[in-house]
Every structure is written in structure tokens, then in C-alpha cells.
Structure 1
Amino acid sequence: MSTESHSRRSFLGLEGQHVFITGAAGAIGGEAVREFLDHGARVTAFDNKPLQLSGIDAERFSRLHILNGDATNEESIKTGFTEAQERFGSANTLVIISTQGDVTRQRPIWELSLDDWKQSYQANVCGSFLAIKHFLLQVQEYQQNSGSELVSPSIVVTENETSNGLAAGKAGLHYGLLNTVRNEILQLNSEGRINAVASGIDEATDGNGITPADVARTMAFLASSRAAGHITGQCIQVQGKERSKDCESQVAKSTSATQPTQSIPRTLAKPRRNKIRVAVSIDLDAVSGWLGTNSHPDNVLADYSAGFFAARVGVPRLLRMLKKLDIADRCTWFIPGHSAESFPDEVKQVVESGCEVGLHGYAHEGAYQLTPEQERDVLVRCMEIAQNLTGKKPVGYRAPLYQLRESTLDLLEEHGFEYDASLTDHDCHPFFAPRRPPLQPIDFSKPASSWMHPVKESPTLPDRRPLVCVPCNYYMEDMTPMQFLPHCENSHGYVDVRVIENLWRDRFLWIRDNEEEPIFPVLMHPDTSGMAHVIGMLERMLGWLKEWEREGEVEFLQTGEIARWWKEKMLNDGAK
């Protein structure tokens, strides 16, 4: 952390304060989120659009709570404050970005219709009123329960002075709520304050030299009890950088052929492609994970205990979370036969959620641990178990620890499986299962000419269509980085969950901007994602993807649905 950043936060004294920001997804709102995080505050960002911030490190991200909601809907704003309080405690500061949706700025009042006026009034004044109302109710509740005053509650409203004299935001807030709340907040708290920032900025223009960052710094100043505790009921005008006419002329000449730049875009670009198909899958390894690929002579009772936790605690937790997000029936659970027979009650709950069920071995054994005969016997037995559970033949398979070989794919073809989810020839597009010769290790005792040759693929049968592979690997799952497995070389378990959350978000955003009709696999294990410190991150991540779904850019699908969609598309297009 830089010295400048640290000293600035120390001056304002906002460390640990909880700031609730409405309208957080706009350019000014995004800068406000960033500014308060830089000052050490905990921030709840509330908007009905996705919030996009780049360059936020894991420590700052741990102090950010993103909520999707409508500030003009009372139930939505009430729920937002409740969820924010559960995460960070009572909010000390309310920041209202009230410049969005003000149609009165676009033309003079005599050209406005009543409907335009009402729309602008609803967007600016009603939303601000509801946010202030429930912020103050939260202050009151905190003080009644604690018997002491909340530390320095403050409200900062950002409005636009460029609108005409009777614009809804200025008339309603500056001359109405501002003066009313200034007096009434003191009845609740002796340090309570409210101020407004007149930004003079239009998010579609350069703001006459004023940037969103300028407005955000002013809001942080007014929120600080240390710096501005003596200021209340005031509207502060943000001034842009003054330029002489000669300077402005030179700037105009130098920039006339270029497009103006924005420090932070209001939102990401409109979608240019079809939906991103999200494949949420869960591997219910439970105790089987310790029997096959993770077997070790030093495994102890405590290790197996984690398997019981996965089934009896992790499964119900994940099911509740998935149902809360309304995606439980759009997931795929890959269930080893051992788990299905050892934990029938928990597996019954999984099946009753309406999900898809795929195979995942019997005792989580890897293909290279088995003879071809054993591999066949395991697959047939697990098919019977799955059919008895669901009443239908399974069509999907994921190899335990991604360990499958050519004989595995042969068996899947023989038994009419539609897809496998174990390989990564691509990371965000399905592909037809490959038909390749077994990997031959190099014998370095022989002359180099004996082993310097490329991979040879069949020229007549290059793949195993119609058997589809839906990609998945360690970078798309939870267990490897976030669970410690004592005898597994690539496990960790002590990674901050927000590191993985950032990794997945960055991956999603890059795929969204650079790939056509991609898929986005997310793999969970009840052993890992069922743990208390992990499941909250998964709920945030999936909730974030749900926000994209509300924007029409994401669709949650079972893995089998994705495989069938892709296969039909490719075969109809005559893919080679």
C-alpha cells in the first residue's frame, strides 16, 4: 500500500466505517466505491445494474458487498439494508447518487410532459427518500438495541446542477429533503449530518473539466466526521479545472479528431454475442474421495470425517443456497456410487431438487488404477445405481480427479453417453471427444531420433462425435485451492476465498468480451464449498452471475443441456 494512500485514509478517519452507496453502477458511483475502499471503509454497493470495477485487490474486495436492487422499490431497499447490516453491521454513511434518469436535463420545462416529470421525480426523489428513510430506521434500530448512539451517521446526496431550475433532483432534494433531514436526523443522533454535492457533471460528457473522481473525493470528504463533522445542510459545488480560452482552443484543436475518453465506463458494452451458458456442477465425493484417487496409508479417521461433513452438512447447505438463488434445478451433480449408497437420504434431497445426475465412478477411483475389466464393471454398476435413483439412464460422466483414458471414452461411446466433463482441449467451448493414441512416455535411454515425432491423430476418425466433452479442470473448481488434503500434492486450503472469486470474475469478464457463444463452468464440492468460510463466496459469485442473467447475458443450464445445444449446433452447421 502506498504512503499516499495510507496518509489520505488516516486524515479522513474512514477506516472500518460502513458506507452504503445507491446508484453504485454508474461512473460516479463506481468512483465512489473505489474512493471509500481506498480510505479503508467497508462498502455496500447497491444498484440494479452490474457493478464493474477493475484493479480492486483481494484486501479491498474483502470489504466490498455488492447488492442488486431497485432503489425506487421500498421492499428492495429495505432488504438491501438488512443484507448489508448482516454483512458489515449498521451503515455509518449513506451515499445517494441521484443523477441517473433525470430526463428534465434534456429539454426546458415547457417542453416536458407530465409523464416525463413523474418519471424523473420517481427516479431521483422517491429513490432518495426511500434510501434516507431506511438508513435512518437502521440508525434508530441500532441505537435502541445497543443503548448508545451510532458513530457519526452521515448522508451525502449527489445531484446535478446542470439540470433546469425545476428539475426533480434539485427541487425535491436540495430544497426539500436536505433541509428537512438536516433537522430531523439530530433527533436520532447528536452527530447526524446530511449534505449534498452538486457535481455539475453529465455522465455523457466531459463534465466541464469535472471528473467522477472529483465528485467521489468530495463525497468522501463530506462523509468524514474528522474532516467535515461541522458541516451539515450544505450543498457543495464541485469545481472543474479552470482553463483559459487560449488553452481551451489548443485543447480543442488537439482533440477534435479523437473521441473523448472516460476514466470508468458507466457499464460494460452492450452484449455483442449470444448468452454465456453457465454450467454449475457439484461432485458429491464424500467418503469416496478418500478411497480411490486420494487413498494413502497415512489417511486417518479425521480425514474420513471430512467426507461425512461433505454429505451430511455440505450437501444440505449447498442445496439451500442453490434454491435461494433459484438455480437448484439447473445444476448437475456428479455422484459416485459409493456416495449414493452410503448417504441415501442426502442423495435423495439432491435428486428431489430437480437437478441432473451424472456418474463419477464408484469409489472415486482413477482409470489408471483399474484394469479395463474393472473399469467396465464399475461403469455398469454405477449406471444401475443412477437409474434406480432417478428413474432414467444417466447420460453424463466426470472422471474422478479427471483421470480417464482411451478405454474410458470407448466405454462411454459403447453405452450411449452424451457427454464427458473431464477434459480441457478448450476452456470455454465444448468439443467432440478426441480419438487419440495413448500418450507414450519418452525413453531417454534411446537415441533422440527414436522419440522426436509429433502426435499422430487418425485422419479418418479425428474425434468421437456425437460424444461431447464439456470442459472442466482444476482452475474451474473450488477444492484444489480452497481445501487442504494432507496427501494430495496440488491441494492448498489456505487461500483467501476472494482470490478465487476475483480469478473467476476476471475469467468470466475476459471470456464475455473475447469469445462467441462461450460457456462458463463452475465446479463445487460439498467438502469445500459447504464450509462456512467458502459458501458465502460461492453465493456472492453465483449471485453476481445472476445479475448478468437479469441483464439477459447469462443462462444457467444443466451440463447435459449444454452438451445437447452445442452438439446440435455443430452437427447442423456441418462442423468438421
Structure 2
Amino acid sequence: MTTNSNTVVPTWTWSEERLQTIMNRARAGRSLKPAAWPDGARCAVALSFDSDHDTFELRDGGRSISALSQGQFGPRQGIPRIRELLSREAIPATFFVPAVSAIHYPDEQRALIAEGHEIGLHGWIHERNTLLDEDTERDLQFRAADTLEKITKVRPVGIRTPSWDFSENTLQITADMGLLYDSSLMADVDCYELLLNGAPCGVTELPVEWIRDDAAYLIMDRWGGLRPQIAPHDILQIFKREFDAAYEERGIFQLTMHPDIIGHRSRIWLLKELVAHIRTRKDVWFATHADIVRHVRASCA
């Protein structure tokens, strides 16, 4: 069958070879669940915050001043509340930061590093990777890493792609950068080896899931009619059950949050209650994503 560039070939006509090629661009490989956690802990807890701030609207042109003001809530209100909670509980966390957010709020990133938290890559301006050509995606990812390093004096070792949007080129670029890990994919609940075109590429996945993301429950789209339908109390029950299962399985409880979402007064309560619940277990290891990945790689080498 001859086609031109504008012809859409139905996917059910694809050959097995073509299907395998697509499926193997970035695939889950060997599980990296360790036999033990540091200091005899039964479970690892990885709290993370995506500091999108103004970039969520800037990415699309920055035309809505209202949306930009909502983005400013993160650094003005959300981040201070989160920092206070983490400091009080002595919990290290990972903040995934778009380069543009870091440029606009450099003192925020420096303070987080000084407090023992990790800063990870989260794109340049929260761009959608699947809408970019390979050269552009590569340029933005490398530039973002250089920018975060310049601001914080620490080179990022991990990435979470904006909106968890992972193109056919993302893993190759991540591997070429020599990054330790990615945290954008969802093939497991434990860390696993990432395969690039069927072979290990040196990048470890610390998986995410929409079930463990505050935005999935609490974000509002005023134009699209999407409204939060679940009360913080009910979300807390979901997060508690996810943690309890991770604890029973001796695995990882990973959570994704956003300063402009979880940072509201009625919602930071959710995180406080969750931490209090986790603290009822004495054998839990709170750690950054990078430290968890370093441990599982060393344990499963």
C-alpha cells in the first residue's frame, strides 16, 4: 500500500514489526525492588511537588492574567506552607521545576536545596514533548538542566516530563544526558529498569500514577467544565490506602503534588493528615526520589 505524508494508515493494518518498534521505544525492564530499605525500614516514602507556577499558562501564550495569577499562588502561598510542613516533620522531598519557574523564583530553589530537598528537571516552560521535534526537545531539556544547575549550583540527576508527556525521543535524550532516573511513567509501583529499543539504557524509572496525584482530583478547568468532584477527606482515604498497601508490600509510596493545588488552606490539611498517618509506622524511610533510586540501584546491581 502506497501512502503519502498526509495519509493516515489504520493502526490495525500495522505489521507486528512496527507494533514492536513502537512498544519498545521506552519499556519497563527488570524490577528494581530492593530486598531491604535503609536502617531496617519496611517502606520508602517519596513525596514530590511539581512547581509549575506561572508556566502552565505561559506555555500556551500567557494570555490569561487570571490563570497567571493562579500560578503565582504556588510560590506565594503553597511553597511556604509546604516548606514549613516538611521542615517541622524533617522530611526531604523532591521538587520538579520548569526552568522558567526557576528563573522567575531563583531564591525559592536555592532555599529548597539548602533545606536538603532535591530539585529535578520538569521541562523548560512546561512544554508538551509529543508536540516537539527531536532537536527542539533535546535543546530544551539540556538548556533546562544547565539553568537549574546555574541557579542552584547542583546539577539535576532526575526528570519528570511536563504533564508526564513522554515522546518517542524522550528516553534517548534522557539517557544521553546521563540522568539517573525518570519519574513520568506508570508501568509498576516499584522502581524498574528502563529499556530503550529493547535494551537497558542506564535510566531507572521511579513510577508515578494519576491515583497518587492531587491534580487528578482537585484541578479545575473553568472553560472545559471540569470541576473537582472529590472532597479532600475522600482523597486522603485514597492516599492512605495507597500508603498502607505499599507498607504491606515493603515497597514505595510515591506521591505527586502541586504547590498551587495542595498549598491551599483546606488542602494542605490533607498532606498534614497523611504525614501523621504515615508517622504511626515507625519503620518508614522518607527520602528524595534521587536517594531512593540510588539505593535500589545499589541493592539490585
Band the TM-score falls in, shorter-chain normalisation: 0.7 to 0.9
What residue is the counterpart of 2:83 in the other structure?
Answer: 319
Correspondence 1:122-201 to 2 at 5 A: none
Determine if the alignment matches structure 1 residue 467 to structure 2 residue 234: no
Measure, in 1, the Cα distance between the counterparts of 2:75 and 2:229: 22
The answer (yes or no) to whether the contact 2:122–2:159 under 8 Å persists in 1 is: yes
Correspondence 1:491-506 to 2 at 5 A: 492-506=227-241
Deviation of 1:350 (Å) = 2.2
Measure, in 1, the Cα distance between the counterparts of 2:195 and 2:289: 19
Q: Which amino acid aligns with 1:283?
A: D
Measure, in 1, the Cα distance between the counterparts of 2:224 and 2:140: 24
Measure, in 2, the Cα distance between the counterparts of 1:492 and 1:352: 37
Cα-to-partner distance string for 1:461-513 (whole Å, 9 max, x where unaligned): 2x32x210001121111112112133568x64342001110011112223333
Stretches of structure 2 lacking an aligned partner (at least 5 in a row) = 1-39
What value does the CA root-mean-square deviation take over the aligned residues? 1.9
The answer (yes or no) to whether the contact 2:42–2:247 under 8 Å persists in 1 is: no
Cα-to-partner distance string for 1:356-400 (whole Å, 9 max, x where unaligned): 110000110111121111111111111111111222321100001
Measure, in 2, the Cα distance between the counterparts of 1:570 and 1:347: 32
Give the 3 Å change call, closer, same or farther, for CA 535–381 of structure 1 in structure 2: same
Give the 3 Å change call, closer, same or farther, for CA 481–296 of structure 1 in structure 2: farther
Measure, in 1, the Cα distance between the counterparts of 2:165 and 2:222: 20
Deviation of 1:274 (Å) = 5.2
What residue is the counterpart of 2:30 in the other structure?
Answer: none
What residue is the counterpart of 2:257 in the other structure?
Answer: 524
The answer (yes or no) to whether the contact 1:338–1:363 under 8 Å persists in 2 is: yes
Measure, in 1, the Cα distance between the counterparts of 2:206 and 2:268: 24
Measure, in 1, the Cα distance between the counterparts of 2:236 and 2:105: 30
Correspondence 1:369-380 to 2 at 5 A: 369-380=131-142
Which one scores higher on RCO, CA 8 angstroms, separation ≥ 6? 2
> Structure 2 length as normaliser, TM-score?
0.82
Determine if the alignment matches structure 1 residue 303 to structure 2 residue 70: no
Determine if the alignment matches structure 1 residue 289 to structure 2 residue 56: yes
Measure, in 1, the Cα distance between the counterparts of 2:106 and 2:134: 29
The answer (yes or no) to whether the contact 1:351–1:389 under 8 Å persists in 2 is: no
The answer (yes or no) to whether the contact 2:109–2:119 under 8 Å persists in 1 is: no
Measure, in 1, the Cα distance between the counterparts of 2:164 and 2:88: 30
Measure, in 2, the Cα distance between the counterparts of 1:512 and 1:324: 23
Which residue, out of 262, 271, 285, partners 1:555? 285
The answer (yes or no) to whether the contact 1:336–1:362 under 8 Å persists in 2 is: yes
Measure, in 2, the Cα distance between the counterparts of 1:392 and 1:310: 23
**Structure of larger gyration radius:** 1
Give the 3 Å change call, closer, same or farther, for CA 435–486 of structure 1 in structure 2: farther
What residue is the counterpart of 2:45 in the other structure?
Answer: 278
Q: Which amino acid aligns with 1:564?
A: R
Q: Which amino acid aligns with 2:255?
A: V
What residue is the counterpart of 2:25 in the other structure?
Answer: none
Measure, in 1, the Cα distance between the counterparts of 2:138 and 2:164: 17
Q: State how many pairs are aligned.
A: 262
The answer (yes or no) to whether the contact 2:47–2:256 under 8 Å persists in 1 is: yes
Correspondence 1:41-120 to 2 at 5 A: none
> Structure 1 length as normaliser, TM-score?
0.44
Measure, in 1, the Cα distance between the counterparts of 2:116 and 2:246: 29
Stretches of structure 1 lacking an aligned partner (at least 5 in a row) = 1-272, 437-457, 572-576
What residue is the counterpart of 1:564 in the other structure?
Answer: 294
Cα-to-partner distance string for 1:198-225 (whole Å, 9 max, x where unaligned): xxxxxxxxxxxxxxxxxxxxxxxxxxxx
Q: Which amino acid aligns with 1:309?
A: F
Measure, in 1, the Cα distance between the counterparts of 2:116 and 2:241: 30
Correspondence 1:322-337 to 2 at 5 A: 322-327=86-91, 330-337=92-99
The answer (yes or no) to whether the contact 2:193–2:204 under 8 Å persists in 1 is: yes
- 1:286 counterpart SS class: coil
Measure, in 2, the Cα distance between the counterparts of 1:356 and 1:425: 24
